[in-house]
Chain A
Amino acid sequence: MIDFNKFSIIFKREYLTRVTSKAYILTTLLAPLLFLSFFLIPIAVTLLSPDTERVVAIVDETGVIAPRMIEINPEQFIVYPELSLEEIRDMVTTGALNGYIIIDQDVLEGNRTPELIYGGTGGMGFVSDVRSAIRTSIRDEKLDRAEVTEEIRGIMAERISLSTRVLTETGEEEQDTSALFIVGIVLGMIMYTSMFVYGGIVMRGVIEEKTSRIVEVIISSVRPFELLMGKVMGVGALAVTQFTFWILAIAGISAASTPLLLYFFGSRVSEAAGSGDTQAAMATIESELPFTIPDIGMGLVFGFILFFILGYLMYSALFAAVGSALESETENQQLTMVVSLPIIIPIFFLSPVSTDPDSTLAFVLSMIPLFSPIIMPVRMAIMNVPLWEVALAVVLMTATFIALIWLSARIYRVGILMYGKSASLRELSRWVRYS
């Protein structure tokens, strides 16, 4: 049915001309850097933002809290015993001082909430720093007054955190995956983008061959089906190459991120962990980050790749058929819309599916072959999708791919020889019936 020798010549050309192109090399290399920056920027922001020290005056009527706070951060807290409250207020309004707090007996006894009066700049980090300092100072003062033993102080300082485990059918406990909600959404978006990107490459390839008129020369040597398959597989290999590189790069970055984070967080981590223990240091970092770094299982990676490949095959066949009917990329948006819709629709369901991946809606959507590549990896990221569901989706997608490639090949072999104008959807359906 297919001449393997010719197929492989076409496959090699499709793959090699693209894999050696400057644009491809650039995007392949730059994407991990982009990923790295997404990863590092929030960390850097969290860590490096309290750069400028903001000074807060403590108007301490009790005389015991201010020294404790100054001890905690001598650069942030200051007392002006000789100045009146009026003068301190003036300093805040002129900007010489960032803010002030009045601490009296009521505050110490817990009858009144202390108030930070400040210039309005500084943000959440500043306010939370002041809050934490005042809380620690008052607590310690009270503990001292109550003459509490070291043992109880230790209990007070103890931080109990909750870690969770999920019970599965096989009886094993696994790491909790609630953070994988984000992973699911990200995977869905990646799948969505790559269906368009790689499908688009196939479509542009078909249009290029058609508008440059070389296609007639080529199909006087090979069957249109061989050309179509060579192109689809060649671009598919390109996608796999790119993803393999990215997965390796991300794995590498993740592995390198521990020392990297230690470098950035250096002082805080050693403060918190107190020793050179890397794991303890990592745990500290994670607790400080605005998000947790979830573990991505190998099963999910394989599932993602499998659904990516099947999804790519289905959509690239469709994009190729559409490309064969077009004279240029910008023409006939109606046709491109028809193949884009099944990629766009699942995006609207990403949120309901990821909040309840086990619902009937999620199940049904993940079984619709054209939606499976986007919906199923989202479910797989968040929950343990039963194997039979995954297998059924794969079987349905494979069957759909075979039907689509047959249909696309019939449209393609007519379309590539139709010059002059882009065809309508009705014409496409007519081409399918040509012998």
Chain B
Amino acid sequence: MIEVRDITKRYGSFTAVENVSFNVEKGRIFGVLGPNGAGKTTTIRMINYITVPDQGEVIINGNPAGPQSQKLIGYLPEERGLYKKMKVGEQLIYLARLKGMSDYDARKSLKYWLDRFNASDWTKKKLGELSKGQQQKIQFISTIAHDPEICIFDEPFSGLDPINSELLREVIIELNQKGKTILFATHRMEQVEQMCDDICLFNEGKILLTGPLSDIKRSLGKNTVKIEFTGDGSFIDNLENVRVNNRSSNFAEIRLLEGVTEQQILREAIKHVDLTHFEFVQPSLNEIFITTVNDASARKKLQETIA
């Protein structure tokens, strides 16, 4: 559905995106991960044909990205906003018509979505008169009203209240079940872990990892120990060659580094606390993210020192 082929984008001497390639397949939920400033938004803008790559190309549905492909895409940018002084109804029709819908189709589709979001009463109001949460709903509607084949959400959950956050999650799942392709960029791992089929991981304008989430996890193997216990957990501080994530007074997620086995951790734990749960698992996405990014910067540093 979306093929990103070796794209590079520079702004003056700054390279925002360098030799990036990935494929998003039809009907999948694709997560674009990476720290802030890693090139996610620039890449998404190129997919949306808002900017064009200096090198490489973006293919949407078999054709290069362009005005035609824009009609297939619904885009929710990271920085959101609509016309504050324009009436909600007029505004939604305007945006849907810019996506190539006829006035009639736009009204029909908007009626469905406004009802679905309990927002039909707001059409005569100016956007600025709505609450923030209500404005967020109108923004989602504007993104999906033209029934796009591809939905692109840039940091969709940032700034949303919990109710709208849940609503958006439902809508994303619903759209996906209807066969729509979803691409979203985020740095919030738990949502990606819950929702994404495939991911790609950005850092400093380059892709570090890409592929189905399950394959990536499997390829890295089991290397994390999850324990739950009662008692004094201070022994965890004395463990060597490990990295501790997600720790609380009765829970810890311990990443094993070189030379340590899960059995050693188990023996150590039994000595100090009453274990209620012990599990040897694949790393969490958060763990993968941190490790990969750190490795990449370590490697870069090393290369710089050699050079």
Chain A residues engaging chain B, CB cutoff 8 angstroms = 3, 6, 9-10, 13, 17, 208-209, 211-214, 216-223, 413, 417, 419, 430, 433-435
Which 7 pairs from chain A and chain B are nearest by CB? A213-B81, A221-B98, A212-B81, A216-B77, A220-B75, A213-B79, A220-B48
What residues of A have a CB within 8 angstroms of the CB of B94 in the complex? 9, 13
Q: Decide: B82 and A214 in contact? CB cutoff 8 A.
A: yes
Q: Which residues of A contact B142 (CB under 8 A)?
A: 217
Query: Within 8 Å of chain A (Cβ to Cβ): is B67?
Result: yes
B85 nearest CB neighbor, chain A only: A17
B79 touches A216 (CB 8 A): yes
- Smallest CB gap from B48: residue in A: A220
For the complex with contacts A221-B95, A223-B67, 5 further pairs of A-B residues with Cβ separation under 8 Å are A13-B94, A213-B80, A216-B45, A216-B79, A221-B98
Q: B237 to nearest A CB, angstroms?
A: 41
Taking a contact as CB atoms under 8 Å apart, the answer to whether A417 and B11 are in contact is: no
Binds A, one of B50-58, B174-182, B192-200: B50-58
For the side of the interface on B, what is the size category? 20 to 34
Q: Is the CB of A9 within 8 A of B50?
A: no
A209 and B95 CA atoms in complex are apart in Å by 13
**Per-position binary interface string of chain B over residues 39-61, scored 1 when its CB falls under 8 Å from any chain A CB and 0 otherwise:** 00000010011111010000000
Enumerate chain B interface residues (CB-CB to A < 8 A).
11-12, 45, 48-52, 54, 67, 70-71, 73, 75, 77, 79-86, 94-95, 97-99, 142-143
Cα–Cα, bound, A433→B13 (Å): 12
Quick check: B67 and A3 within 8 Å, CB to CB? yes
Is the Cβ of B45 less than 8 Å from the Cβ of A417?
Answer: yes
In the complex, what distance in Å separates the CA atom of A58 from the CA atom of B77? 89
**A219 — which chain B residues lie within 8 A by C-beta?**
50
Given contact pairs A9-B94, A212-B81, A217 touches B75 in the complex (Cβ within 8 A): yes
CA–CA, A435 to B51, complex, Å? 9
Distance, CA A9 to CA B75, complexed state (A)? 19
> Contact partner of A212 among B52, B67, B70, B83, CB < 8 A?
B83
- Alpha-carbon distance A419/B94, docked complex (angstroms): 24
Q: Which residues does chain B contribute within 8 Å of A433, judged by CB atoms? A: 12
State A220–B142 Cα separation when bound (angstroms): 12
- Point out the residues of chain A lying under 8 angstroms from B50, CB to CB: 216, 219-220, 417
**Residue B83 contacts which of A9, A10, A214, A223 (CB distance < 8 angstroms)?**
A214
Number of A-B contacts (CB under 8 A): 65
Return the contact of B97 from the options A3, A9, A213, A430 (Cβ within 8 A). A9
A222–B12 CA distance with the chains assembled, in angstroms: 25
Q: How far is the CA of A218 from the CA of B45 in the complex (A)?
A: 12
A430 and B80 alpha carbons, distance in the complex (Å): 27
Are B51 and A417 in contact, with the CB atoms below 8 A?
yes
Residues on B with C-beta less than 8 A from A217 are: 75, 77, 81-82, 95, 142-143
In whole angstroms, what is the CA distance A223 to B82 when docked?
18
Tell me the bound Cα distance from A209 to B94 in angstroms: 14
List the A side residues contacting B45 at CB < 8 Å: 216, 417
A220 contact set on B, CB distance < 8 A: 48-50, 70, 73, 75, 77
Inter-chain CA distance A430–B12, complex, in Å, is 7
Q: For the complex, what is the distance from the CA of A9 to the CA of B101, rounded to whole Å?
A: 11
CB distance from B127 to the nearest CB of A (A): 9
The CA-CA distance from A433 to B12 in the complex, in Å, is 8
- Asked whether A218 lies within 8 Å of B86 as measured between CB atoms, the reply is no
Q: Determine the chain A residues whose CB is within 8 A of the CB of B79 once the complex forms.
A: 213, 216, 419
Are A435 and B67 in contact, with the CB atoms below 8 A?
no
- Complexed CA–CA distance, A9 and B12 (Å): 34
**A221 contacts B86, CB within 8 Å?**
no
Flag if B98 contacts A6 (CB, 8 Å): yes
Shortest distance between the CB of B113 and any CB in chain A (Å): 16
User: Nearest chain A CB to B20's CB is how many angstroms away?
Assistant: 17
Q: How far is the CB of B201 from chain A (nearest CB, A)?
A: 24
Give A12's nearest chain B residue, CB to CB. Answer: B94
Which residues of B are found within 8 Å of A435, using beta-carbon distances? 52, 54
B contact residues around A216 at 8 Å (CB): 45, 50, 75, 77, 79
In whole angstroms, how far apart are the Cα atoms of A430 and B77 in the complex? 25
Complex Cα distance A209/B79, Å? Answer: 12
Chain B residues within 8 Å of A213, by CB = 77, 79-81
With a CB–CB cut-off of 8 A, which chain A residues contact B84? 212
The docked-state distance in angstroms from the alpha carbon of A334 to that of B81 is 28
Chain B: which residue is nearest A10 at the CB level? B98
Looking across the interface, which residue of chain A has its beta carbon closest to that of B12?
Answer: A430
Q: How far is the CB of B14 from chain A (nearest CB, A)?
A: 11
Q: List the A side residues contacting B75 at CB < 8 Å.
A: 216-217, 220
Taking CB atoms, residues of chain B closer than 8 Å to A211 are: 81
User: Is the CB–CB distance between B83 and A222 below 8 Å?
Assistant: no
Q: Is the CB of A214 within 8 A of B81?
A: yes
Show 18 residue pairs from A and B whose CB-CB distance is below 8 angstroms, ordered by the A residue. Answer: A6-B98, A212-B82, A213-B81, A214-B83, A216-B50, A216-B75, A217-B77, A217-B81, A217-B95, A217-B143, A220-B73, A220-B77, A222-B67, A417-B50, A433-B12, A434-B11, A435-B52, A435-B54
Least CB separation from A210: chain B residue: B81
**CA separation between A162 and B243, bound complex, in Å?**
104
A192 and B177 CA atoms in complex are apart in Å by 59
| Measured CA separation A3–B77 after assembly (Å) | 23
Assembled-state Cα–Cα distance A93/B45 (Å): 87
